[in-house]
Amino acid sequence: KIYYDADADLGLLSDKTIVFLGFGNQGAAQAQNLRESGIPNENILIANRVDAYAEDAKSKGFRVEHDFGKAGEVADVLFLLIPDQAQPRVFNEQVAPRLKPTAAVVIASGYNVFFKLLNFQATQDVIMVAPRMIGSSVRSLYVKGKGFPCFVSAEQDGTGQALPIALSLSRAIGATRAGAIASSAKEETMMDLFAEQALWPNIIVLFREAFSVLKEAGCSDEALCYEMWMSKEPAEIFERAAEDGFVDQLKHHSTVSQFGQLSGALALDGAATREQFKQILYNQVLNGKFCSEFSQIEEDLEKEGDANPLNVLYKRSESMELAQAEKRVRARLAGLV
Ligand code: NAI
């Protein structure tokens, strides 16, 4: 089901205090959109630690509260828009104990709700309003009078009003202009983690191996980098796929290319990939294995140098032949060597 503006009643938000916990990519965009949809500034409160994001909120005329517990006490609606890995610690320890029993908590990603990492009271509403866009686009499309794709769901209906409130909030941030798609925290998390842990790693591997095979066959670094991604051809292909269709975009390519791509894809046996995808989906994503392993390293992600596991992964990835070659090409292009 797809919900539009006509399905949503903004009146449900009148007299509600709406707190945004976090004023980053999503928080800043959604709070500004909501205010411009007619929610009075005095009904909006930004809860943010003392940092540049808090200053940004103040400079945009918002009221800012640094004490998360105090913000939780006044919230009828609480948008949880700090990074996913920080949400369980911050919400469970500082906000949840003081949150009203009838508050609605709004998540923009299903992860922490699907894996049950957040503590809610049964009387509270838990709503997902998850834009499928980066924050700057959530804002710029709204300013242009357009909407953006968004998933919406009522994950817990403590007040009996969870879905109408979810739709009303979706309208206030501008999502129902384009149509907000009925989904769930499970569906959103499953698709997100699958794309991140199965689909895109395979795409990275395909590029890595293609680069090495062609390099070994005598192609130059420059030619390969441009042929494969620096020309932005892959970006254009996906752009056309979104506009014209996944298969129909092929018609923009030469006949030789169309014939090669279609016959090549049909000849490839996807059985091994399908099996690998199922393994990742069921034995890594849905069974919570990734989630529990990630929870164990979550605090290390704020550390410096090799103590941060993400830095180690970057270092290892930079040693790929493709990455090394690209570094040389970019240095030559910049006239550095
Ligand atoms: P962000 O990384 O931009 O968050 C920054 C905000 O979080 C700032 O207000 C900062 O003060 C606060 N913050 C950061 N660490 C904190 C901590 N340890 N304690 C307290 N406050 C902290 O977050 P972003 O990207 O806007 O993500 C928010 C939510 O939106 C997440 O659930 C994410 O999955 C979801 N989302 C994000 C999208 C994006 O465009 N980045 C797209 C769709 C959903």
At 126-145, the pLDDT tens digits run 999 999 999 999 999 999 99
In this predicted structure, what is the pLDDT of residue 336? Answer: 77
The length of the chain, given as a count of residues: 337
* Nearest CA among 89, 85, 87 for reference residue 106: 87
Cβ–ligand 1 contact at 109 (below 6 Å):
yes
pTM of the model: 0.91
Ligand 1 atom nearest 134 alpha carbon: 40
Cβ–ligand 1 contact at 151 (below 6 Å):
no
Query: 243 C-alpha vs ligand 1 centroid, how far in Å?
Result: 30
Query: 23 C-alpha vs ligand 1 centroid, how far in Å?
Result: 7
Which of 51, 59, 81 gets mutated to test ligand 1 (max ligand atoms within 8 A of its CB)?
81
CATH of 2-183, picked from 3.40.50.300, 3.40.50.720, 3.40.50.9100, 3.40.50.150, is 3.40.50.720
Ligand 1 atom nearest 26 alpha carbon: 26
- Per-residue DSSP letter, 246: T
Query: 27 C-alpha vs ligand 1 centroid, how far in Å?
Result: 7
3-state secondary structure of 125: strand
Cβ–ligand 1 contact at 88 (below 6 Å):
no
Phi, psi of 261 (to 5 degrees): -70, -45
In this predicted structure, what is the pLDDT of residue 34? Answer: 98
Cβ–ligand 1 contact at 22 (below 6 Å):
yes
Q: Tell me: pLDDT of 337 over 80.
A: no
Query: 93 C-alpha vs ligand 1 centroid, how far in Å?
Result: 18
Residue nearest to atom 39 of ligand 1 (CA): 134
In this predicted structure, what is the pLDDT of residue 298? Answer: 87
Residue nearest to atom 2 of ligand 1 (CA): 83
Q: How far apart are CA 199 and CA 219, in angstroms?
A: 27
CB crowding 262-289: b at 16 or more within 10 Å, else e: eeeeeeeeeeeeeeebeebbeebbbeee
Q: How far apart are CA 12 and CA 288, in angstroms?
A: 36
Give the CA distances from residue 291 to residues 72, 195, 283, in Å, rounded to whole numbers and listed in that order: 27, 15, 11
**Structure token pair of residue 23:** 């004023």
Of the pLDDT bands very low, low, confident and very high (cuts 50, 70, 90), residue 68 is very high
Q: Is the dihedral of CA 210, 226, 137, 64 positive or negative?
A: positive
Which of 19, 20, 26 gets mutated to test ligand 1 (max ligand atoms within 8 A of its CB)?
26
Amino acid at residue number 8 = A
Sequence spans of domains, the chain = 2-183, 188-333
pLDDT tens digit sequence for 78-128: 999 999 999 999 999 999 999 999 999 999 999 999 999 999 999 999 999
In this predicted structure, what is the pLDDT of residue 84? Answer: 93
CB within 8 Å of 57: residues ≥ 6 apart: 23, 28, 31, 46, 48, 64
Give the CA distances from residue 216 to residues 142, 204, 212, in Å, rounded to whole numbers and listed in that order: 49, 18, 6
pLDDT tens digit sequence for 216-254: 999 999 999 999 999 999 999 999 999 999 999 999 999
Average pLDDT over residues 56-62: 98
Q: Compute the radius of gyration of the chain from its Cα atoms.
A: 23
- Partners of 151 in beta bridges: 130, 181
